[in-house]
Amino acid sequence: MSVRPSSTETDRLEDLLAASPSPFSDAVLPNAFRETPDVPSIHAGARQQCLALVRDARETARTSLQVITGDAGEGKTHLLAWLRRQSEEGWRKGTATGRFALTVIPPLRSLARARHHVLQELVRQLSVRLAGDRHIDEATDTPIEILLWRALLAIAKVLVANKSTPAELRARLEEATSANPDRYLSSCVEQLKHGWPLVERAFVDTALRLPELAAVDREVFRIVARFPEGGEAERTAIVDWLGGSSLSSERLDALGTSLVLDEEAEAVRALKTLLALARFAGTPVLLAFDQIEGTVRLGPDAVMTFLETIAELYNDAPSTVILVLCQTQLWPSLREQAPGYVKDRFDDTPAVHLKGLTPNEALLLVETRMKHFWEGLDEHPSDPLFPLSREQVLDVVTREKLRTPRAVVRYFQALLREPRGQRNTDVFKPPPPPQPLDIVRRKLDTLIDEEPRTARQPDARAALAQAVAYDIFRQAQGAKRPIQGTLVEEIAPHRARRTSIEGMRVVLQRNGERKRVYIESSNSQNGKSAASTVRRLADVVAANQADMAMLLREESFPLPSAAHKTLLEMTSRGVVLRIAEGEIVPLAAIEALLNAAAAGDVPVDRKTALDIAVEHLASLLAIPARVVGKVFPVEQPRPRAPEGAKASDTQVTAILRHLQTERAFEPAARLAATLGLSVETVDAALHVLAGRGAVDVVADRNRSPVVLLRPGASPS
């Protein structure tokens, strides 16, 4: 029997409980990157199976494919959160036996760019800085940099031991690796940087003869091998490039390449190279494909394409663990849509099904939550379950048949809301759950609050904008809901050519007039890539596949001159719709909601979730209405001035004066909006000012340009 607090202590603890957030306030864990109290014994078998696969990948270089199924609320996201903590602990300790890289891959946005999606997410998540001020690798604090440094040092050690390595190269590499890189990475990195300009080319040529690097792409490896050469800015550019970002020509020139990894074939080159380097670094990669049910929204062929992608990764990825997480009842039907050879891959290892909680596991969950709550208040009741008791919890769990973590947390959240005198578990009946409409609205509000903390590469934000805009237009068509007095008659994916990137074609009708609009999104800062996108717009119009073509592009990124010239040649039939700062946030929230609905994390289907989201966020969803405004303008558009590649002296002076008198630190897009200039004009003016040493242009966490005024800058 546990000892109950005295009446005085009871009153004080009850007052604290009433005035504090509930110990059970997060019944649904929104993602694997949120912290929550953990009970290690829950799903212990699944946890150990995942770690066993990681160990096998590290020791034998085998790739494994594991399906994990569970009902909604059974703990799939908690399992991923635990794996994420294990991965972070491995990075912090720096021990080769415990280190692995976890990436949670969200559902696809486009069937045409599945592998690029995996590459983007892998690099993006490994670029998140490790929590805490201390970890073993003081030379850096992001997993992707640690992985690349360790891979280069491991290759250097192999070359030192290889008799065919040229003597001069061997001597320099031996000096750099004389300390143990696994324990003293920082000192080895400094040694490597010191001698790198003399050995880089020989290192690349000699390393690529190793059979262990047979799958590595020469050009990708050559750029990665520049890692020790430059400073932080160049290493950031390499990481951005490796993650599939369409860098500007200037940034590519600085890296010494013209290759852009923004399409499928190039993404495969980078992905295979990165996974091979991870193997060299002794760091298996765990790719966790979560909420795969969300892929269904892309159409009937989506699941088959997605599962084929996973099978190809299985064949091509060395020393990799692939997890596929899905609802128990949906997995058989999804698996049946896969080709035979893909089914065979999935059947090689039996699926792991997350089991329901035992009464003792449920008790541990409640006790862990309550203990965490009291410790957070620096309180230590004699019974950490206070105001509950062990007997009460076990009785409730058994009587109410609470079998999932979510059900347990929700029940006790409702119980502790009750006034102290009415908390009799023998007669307590939890209130009915909130209406689905209220649950979805609260979920959307939470997602809106969380999204600004999520860093996304510009290319990923463009893909997100296009994918969710497509969903909103499709919802308007199905509901016969007019947008700015205009009906959506048709909406479908569309490709200008069989092998080209996919856009969408929307047929709009107002007062009997029909307009076909082809829409594609791109934040590419690479001149060739952006020009190729605009040429696709022109091709669609020239082939009479659309009456107008539209490019969705964030206002932070000027259109490169070659693309701008092609757009002007399209006259009024080709336009750019600028996505304003903050407009991505509600779109990202809708995407996350639709994935949650598909995975059963909200009590409505995807169609209902989208209907609610469009209504709830109507004031924030400006893009569809602005598309309609471009197609059916209230006033005739003014002739477009062919500006954008140049800035006048007056404009340059106005920008500098604003920085000197208003704000010395300003996003470039906000400068354009404040001064009434195009982003292309501002970009040209900033090039002039940077050349004079008056400003610096840096990238924020989302890689959007920000202008910094230098001290003492003058207009001349």
Report the DSSP beta bridge partners of residue 554. Answer: 579
pLDDT bin (cut points 50, 70, 90) of residue 477 is very high
Mean pLDDT of 214-231: 90
Q: Residue 242, by phi and psi: left (phi above 0), alpha (psi -120 to 50) or beta?
A: alpha
**Which residues are CB-contacts of 653 (< 8 A; sequence separation ≥ 6)?**
715
Task: Name the residue with tokens 């709550």.
Answer: 373
CA-CA distance, 102 to 85, in Å (whole number)? 9
The residue among 631, 665, 681 that closes a domain is 631
Determine the pLDDT at residue 643. 44
User: Are 465 and 471 a contacting pair, CB within 8 Å?
Assistant: no
Nearest to 520 by CA among 582, 590, 465: 465
Higher pLDDT, 112 or 586: 586
**One domain for residues 531 and 626:** yes
Strand partners, 324: 67, 289
pLDDT at 645: 56
Residue 220, H or E segment = helix 218-224
| Pair 685, 558: CB distance under 8 Å | no
Say what the pLDDT of residue 11 is: 87
Give Dmax (Cα) for the chain: 84
pLDDT of residue 132: 61
Q: Give the pLDDT score at 523.
A: 94
Q: Are residues 298 and 188 in the same domain?
A: no
Tokens of 533: 């996108």
202: containing domain: 143-271
**Alpha helices, DSSP H, located in 377-497:** 390-400, 405-417, 436-450, 458-479
More confident residue, 134 or 26: 26
Q: What is the pLDDT of residue 499?
A: 64
Looking at 555-622, list the stretches that DSSP marks H as alpha helix, in order from N- to C-terminal side.
Answer: 561-569, 584-598, 606-616
CATH number at residue 697: 1.10.10.10
Question: What is the DSSP code string of 171-216?
Answer: HHHHHHTSS-TTT-HHHHHHHHHHHHHHHHHHHHHHHTTSGGGTTS
Q: State in Å, rounded, how far the first CA of the chain is from the last one.
A: 82
Closest CA to 501 of 521, 483, 517: 521
Residue 437 lies in a domain: no
* Whether residues 586 and 460 fall in one domain: yes
Cα–Cα distance for residue pair 523/248, rounded to 1 Å: 11
Q: Are strands 285-289 and 320-327 parallel, antiparallel or unpaired?
A: parallel
Is residue 152 in a domain? yes
Q: Are residues 625 and 535 in the same domain?
A: yes
For residue 578, pLDDT over 80 is answered with yes
* Shared-domain flag, residues 477 and 616: yes
Residue entry with tokens 């009460």 = 392
Residue 45 in this model has a pLDDT that exceeds 80: yes
Residues 463 and 565 both lie in one domain? yes
Give pLDDT, residue 195: 75
pLDDT of residue 646: 76
pLDDT at 361 over 50: yes
Which range among 73-82, 175-184, 503-512, 706-715 has the greatest average pLDDT? 503-512
Question: Is residue 429 in some structural domain?
Answer: no
Tokens 């996304």 belong to which residue?
456
DSSP 681-702: HHHHHHHHHHHTTSEEEEE-TT
Structurally, the chain folds into a number of domains equal to 5
The predicted-structure confidence for 539-575, as pLDDT tens digits, reads as follows: 999 999 999 999 999 999 998 888 888 887 777 788 9
Q: At what angle do helices 114-126 and 264-280 cross, to 10 degrees?
A: 40
Residues 117 and 148 in one domain: no
Identify the pLDDT of residue 433: 79
Give the number of other Cβ atoms within 10 Å of residue 183's Cβ.
Answer: 12
pLDDT (tens digit per residue) in 86-136: 998 888 776 656 789 999 999 888 888 889 999 999 999 999 887 764 444
From residue 480, how far is each of 449, 487, 707 by CA, in Å? 30, 7, 45
pLDDT at 501 over 90: no
Domain stop point among 603, 631, 659: 631
What mean pLDDT is predicted for residues 630-651?
67
The structure tokens listed for 164 are 């065919």
Q: What is the mean pLDDT of residues 34-51?
A: 91
Tell whether 714 is covered by a domain: no
Same domain, 128 and 184: no
CA distances from 691 to 24, 542, 687, 688, 712 (A): 56, 40, 6, 5, 15
Q: Angle formed by the axes of helices 584-598 and 436-450, to 10°? A: 130
Residue 220: pLDDT band by 50, 70, 90 thresholds? very high
For the record, the structure tokens of 42 come out as 């829950």
Asked if residue 402 and residue 293 are part of one domain, the reply reads no
In a domain, 449, yes or no: no
668: left (phi over 0), alpha (psi -120 to 50) or beta: alpha
Task: Return the pLDDT at 662.
Answer: 85
Determine the pLDDT at residue 393: 93
Q: In this predicted model, what pLDDT tens digit does every residue of 144-201 receive, in sequence order? A: 988 998 899 889 999 999 989 998 889 888 887 777 666 667 777 777 777 788 888 9
Q: What angle do CA 64, 66, 71 make, to 5 degrees?
A: 170
**Each residue's pLDDT tens digit, 510-519:** 999 999 999 9
443 occurs within a structural domain: no
CA atoms within 13 A of residue 171's CA, in its CB half-sphere: 4
- CA-wise closest residue to 61 among 284, 225, 266: 284
**Residue 460 Cα distances to 124, 333, 422, 504, 523, angstroms:** 10, 30, 51, 17, 9
Residue 439 lies in a domain: no
The mean pLDDT of 414-432, rounded to a whole number, is 83
Q: Is residue 572 located within the same domain as residue 485?
A: yes
CA distance 355 to 403: 9
Share of the chain above pLDDT 70, in %: 93
Q: Give CA–CA dist 429/426, Å, rounded.
A: 9
From CA 55, how far away is CA 95, in angstroms rounded?
Answer: 13
Residue 341: inside a domain: yes
Does residue 401 come out as left (phi exceeding 0), alpha (psi in the -120 to 50 range) or beta? left
- Whether pLDDT at 3 is above 70: no
**pLDDT above 60 for 636:** no
- Does residue 596 sit in the same domain as residue 483? yes
Beta strand pairing call for 320-327 and 502-510: unpaired
Q: What is the pLDDT of residues 368-422, one digit of tens each?
A: 999 999 999 999 898 999 999 999 999 999 999 999 999 999 999 989 988 887 8
Residue 352 has pLDDT above 60, yes or no: yes
pLDDT at 218: 95
- Average pLDDT, integer, range 231-248: 90
In this prediction, residue 641 has a pLDDT band, given cuts at 50, 70 and 90, of very low
Q: Which residues of 164-173 are buried (b: 16+ CB within 10 A; e: fewer)?
A: ebeeebbebb
For the record, the structure tokens of 358 come out as 């035992």
* Region of residue 488 (left: phi > 0; alpha: psi -120 to 50; beta: else): beta
CA distance 640 to 644: 11
pLDDT tens sequence across 324-340: 999 998 899 888 888 88
Q: Sorting pLDDT into bands at 50, 70 and 90, what band is 315?
A: confident
CA distances from 194 to 176, 187, 191, 230, 345 (A): 9, 11, 5, 11, 46
- Structure-token pair, residue 629: 């405004």
pTM of the prediction?
A: 0.88
Same domain, 496 and 605: yes
SS (H, E, C) 39-87: CCCCCHHHHHHHHHHHHHHHHHCCCEEEEEEECCCCCHHHHHHHHHHHH
**452 cis-preceded (ω within 30 degrees of 0):** no
Q: Residues near 668 by Cβ (< 8 Å), separated by ≥ 6?
A: 556, 679, 682, 683, 686, 697, 704, 705, 706, 707
Which comes out higher in pLDDT, residue 432 or 474?
Answer: 474
Percent helix, strand, coil in the chain, to 5, is 55, 10, 35
The whole-chain average pLDDT of the chain stands at 87
Pick from 177, 169, 224, 163: which is nearest to 202 by CA?
A: 169
